[in-house]
Chains A and B, each alone.
Chain A
Amino acid sequence: MKKLILLIIPILFLTGCNYMELNDLAIASSIGIDYDNENNLYNITTQIMNVKSGDSGASEESTIIYEADGKTISEAINDFSIRYPRNVYLGHLEMCVLGRDAVNNKMSNIFDYFLRNSETSSSCYVLIANNKKAREILNPKNEKSENFPAEDLKSVLIDGTNNTGTINKIEFDELLSYVLQKGIDPVVPTVDIVKNHKNSASSTKISGMTTIHKEKVKNNMSKNASIAFNTIKENYDEITIYIKYKDDYVSFNITNPKGDIKPKIKNNKVSFDIDINLESKVSEIDKKIELKNHKNQDYFENEINKTFKKYINELITYSKDNNVDPIGLKNLIYKNYYKEYKKYKNKNIYEISKINIKVNNEMYVHGTINKGAL
């Protein structure tokens, strides 16, 4: 009995969690954080997954929006408990939408809140509201197909990353690790509201990618630069690009991207070798083009290589213009030439270094280079 008591007493001091029944929780699926610069106020919006068991036993799902203001995030979130009946639970966040103002002014505070609070999910996807407020993005009146808008946004984000190459997905703790690493700037997808022309309903759309540099959100990348970034980072499964051939377009699927960057410092001159390996597959082609002809194959392989080189150059131009480092060239110097890092720390590395790009793609020939059927 003594042993038993000795065992049980320490448990009471060891646990940090609170007892909370499931039906007392307001499970938040996404959170939007805006910052009002004039009044120094945070504006927090959460989408609550509202679940009620219906008459037939099936559950009825809908979304409620909780909104609160506060001088700090904690104050705003505490404000929820005065305004709404249930406790907001952030452990299952799927989406975190940050307003531009919030990132530009209070990024470190936001990170701090997420890190200190043990009940906040750190595996939510982070988005930046491009031209609108985060509050507007999370409006449930937007067009949606799933019961919860956050689910909608999440699947768009995942599928878009895998299949288009023009956007990427980043989880909160990934973002954090990029922020903490030296010489690399995190790339975050941006979200917008687009109007549907037919019924004037509006829907959310992942509009592109942007870079955060020194707690400031920069301009969006162009579509081509985004593809270049995702290729180097090996982010996608399969994307489609097209090549102009005479008066027609030929479409190719690009799979298996492999990106490799090697830094070199010699006589105070920095150079980088970007080496890209791809696999391509014909997805759409005019019947007049004979692909079994090796000349044509070589032509297209070459064109694809050129296209990707163009994309990467666009990315380099973007980085140069905005003085950001999305692919982490400085980080490579930090890792490989630690002593030299200080020299380049505050320089625009894309301006001073020589970047050699090599793209190699192999066309997948088995069964796909036949002539068009019609």
Chain B
Amino acid sequence: MLDKKIEEIKKDYNDSPDIIFRKVKLKDKEILLVFSTSTTSSDSVNDFILKKLVNIKTEITRDNIYNHFENIIPENVLVDIKDKDDMYSKIGAGFTIVIFDKGKPFGIETRKDLSRGVSEPLTEQSISGPKDSFTENYETNLGLIRKRIKTNKLSLKELQIGKQSKTQVAVLFMNNIAEEELVNDIIKKLETINTDGVFDSTTIRDYIEEVKSTFPTIITTERPDRACMSLLEGKVLIAVENSPYLLVIPSFFTDLFQSAEDNYQSNMNVSFTRIIRYGAFFLAILLPAFYVAITTFNHETIPVTLLINFAAQREGVPFPAIVEALGLILVFEILRESDIRMPHLAGTAISILGAIVLGDAAVAAGIVSPIMVIIIALSAIASLMFSDVGIVNAIRFWRILFMLLATLMGIVGIFFAGILLTVKLTSLRSFGKPYLYPLIPLDKKFLFNSLIKRKKDKENMRMPILTDKNYKRSDL
């Protein structure tokens, strides 16, 4: 009987060599252990199964063995196997399956630790504050949140997405703060995902994002502290197996201007930095367009000494300003991309090459004017002030659009591009919540809070748009 079962499983796995079949003889009966060497730790199989099996004193039946393990296994998980599909997904997840002649098989968790340990955040760095970040391990991620919010009000709904990948996806929320409607909406959306595999939270984001836009309407975070703060505001998190980024829903435009650092620095300094961030956003989008507009259309707006300076620098440059600007932006984007893709060891070479080729040689060769290098570099650096890569890309898109319209129509073109940007931003929604909140609809108090950091006891209220109960933080 057991041999027949072995053949069957082998056939299903197409003779994969990492699936191990181990027949164990107990008294007069034989049982079969099936596990995968790639996901199972052989130590666990030895310690928790083989050694324990020897101690069985009672008659060897399925139920007796199950009861035996139920009593002696302190931490590992014991699961009933419903059908073949279930069995294979459990083998994939690192379970050892115990199969009998008669009776249903069951699985014992003997998982190998395949993930890297908790390390410092890579994209959302901060000088002060906690230094841990989410990893690819799903349980670790949930643990990092649970250990920060210890109440039973932290709820978790689990789903399995992907017919082949069988990825665990968890929806986390505070059930005494978050809106039920929002949570149900998110779960409903997740349930409609119909695909073979999901390997990262960004894939999930692609499926559930309502509007396609260059601006990120759902932001990701790798910082457990930031995730927990979002939970307490009434936001909902989505954790995806094998992804170190959690999705935060809903996200507002103002969230892009807050960094993790903001929670751990003094109020005055944070407010100053935030105002600078807003300034940098506009600088990054507008500066090249503005330069193109005033040097090609609206010369009268430049003070005469500056105009002479500009004219002197442009002397001998063969291309029109827009070509110069687009060329430099292209070179900068190539540099940025190669810098991200290159292994760190070669990274310095690229920066040196970029600095020399771009900054010096191009100017000396008379291909671009020095002022244009300054303009593009300033605008590029300003856009890199944001940790979310989504907004950096959005800025890039809009910067080019603004520039093109400025080339066509000067300052008037910039106004029109501004109208387009406003129309786009005001029409965006993140899971039904207006993206520009608290600016539109206007909520003066939270608009002020999003710009100026105040004493913690003054920021006592939760945003009414995110929660329908327990507005006051002190009430809970």
Binding site for A on B (CB under 8 A): 295-300, 304, 307-317, 320-321, 370, 405, 407-410, 412-413, 416, 419-420, 423
Contact = CB atoms under 8 A, between A and B. Distances in A.
A25 B299 contact: yes
A69 interface: no
21 contacts: A3-B423, A7-B419, A11-B405, A11-B408, A11-B416, A14-B409, A15-B412, A15-B413, A21-B296, A22-B295, A22-B299, A22-B314, A23-B311, A23-B317, A27-B307, A51-B312, A52-B312, A59-B312, A91-B299, A92-B300, A94-B304
- Top-8 shortest CB links A-B: A59-B312, A51-B312, A91-B300, A17-B297, A23-B314, A22-B311, A15-B409, A92-B304
A61 interface: yes
Contact of A53 (B297, B298, B313, B320): B313
A47 interface: no
Nearest to A51: B312
**Interface-centre pick from B298, B308, B407, B412 (highest chain A CB count, 10 A):** B308
Interface string A1-28: 0011001100110110111111101010
A91 B423 CA distance: 35
B416 A21 contact: no
B356 to A, nearest CB: 17
Nearest to A49: B308
Contacts of B308: 27, 49, 51, 59, 61
Given A20-B296, A29-B304, 10 more contacts: A12-B408, A12-B409, A14-B409, A19-B297, A21-B296, A22-B307, A22-B314, A49-B308, A51-B311, A92-B299
Contacts of A51: 308, 311-312, 315
B312 A17 contact: no
Nearest to A93: B304
B448 to A, nearest CB: 32
A121 interface: yes
A240 to B, nearest CB: 31
A89 interface: yes
Nearest to A3: B423
A12 B416 CA distance: 11
Nearest to B301: A91
Contacts of A17: 297-298, 410
Contacts of B311: 22-23, 25, 27, 51
A194 B407 CA distance: 48
Contacts of A89: 299
A53 B409 contact: no
A90 to B, nearest CB: 10
Nearest to A23: B314
Main SS class of interface, B = helix
Contacts of A119: 300
Nearest to B295: A22
Contact of A14 (B304, B310, B412): B412
Contacts of B298: 17
B363 to A, nearest CB: 9
Contacts of A7: 416, 419-420
A53 B416 contact: no
B300 A121 contact: yes
Contacts of A25: 299, 311
A91 B298 CA distance: 10
A15 B416 contact: no
B320 A21 contact: yes
Contacts of B315: 23, 51-53
Interface string A304-316: 0000000000000
Contacts of B296: 19-22
B295 A21 contact: yes
A57 B409 CA distance: 31
B299 A20 contact: yes
Contacts of B413: 11, 15
A53 B370 CA distance: 11
B93 to A, nearest CB: 47
B297 A21 contact: no
B307 A92 contact: yes
A55 to B, nearest CB: 11
Nearest to A17: B297
Given A7-B419, A8-B416, A11-B409, A22 B297 contact: no
Interface string A96-116: 000000000000000000000
A12 to B, nearest CB: 8
Given A7-B416, A53-B316, A22 B310 contact: yes
B297 to A, nearest CB: 4
B212 to A, nearest CB: 14
A20 B297 contact: yes
Contacts of A59: 308-309, 312-313
Nearest to B309: A59
A21 B317 CA distance: 10
Nearest to B296: A19
Contacts of B295: 21-22
B313 to A, nearest CB: 6
Interface centre among B307, B312, B412, B419 (most CB of A within 10 A): B312
Contacts of B412: 11, 14-15
Contact of B297 (A11, A18, A52, A92): A18
Contacts of A92: 299-300, 304, 307
Nearest to A52: B315
Contacts of B300: 91-92, 119, 121
Interface in A48-74: 49, 51-53, 57, 59, 61
Contacts of B297: 15, 17-20
Nearest to B411: A17
Interface string A190-230: 00000000000000000000000000000000000000000
B360 to A, nearest CB: 11
B312 A53 contact: yes
Nearest to A26: B311
B6 to A, nearest CB: 61
Contacts of A4: 420
Nearest to A59: B312
A262 to B, nearest CB: 41
Contacts of A94: 304
A212 to B, nearest CB: 27
Contacts of A29: 304
Interface string A106-146: 00000000000001010000000000000000000000000
B428 to A, nearest CB: 15
Given A7-B420, A23-B317, A15 B410 contact: yes
A94 B317 CA distance: 27
A23 B409 CA distance: 19
Nearest to B423: A3
B427 to A, nearest CB: 10
A110 B230 CA distance: 68
A14 B313 CA distance: 31
A263 B313 CA distance: 57
A19 B410 CA distance: 8
Nearest to A120: B300
Contacts of B321: 21
A267 B315 CA distance: 71
Nearest to A119: B300
Contacts of A19: 296-297, 407
Contacts of B313: 53, 59
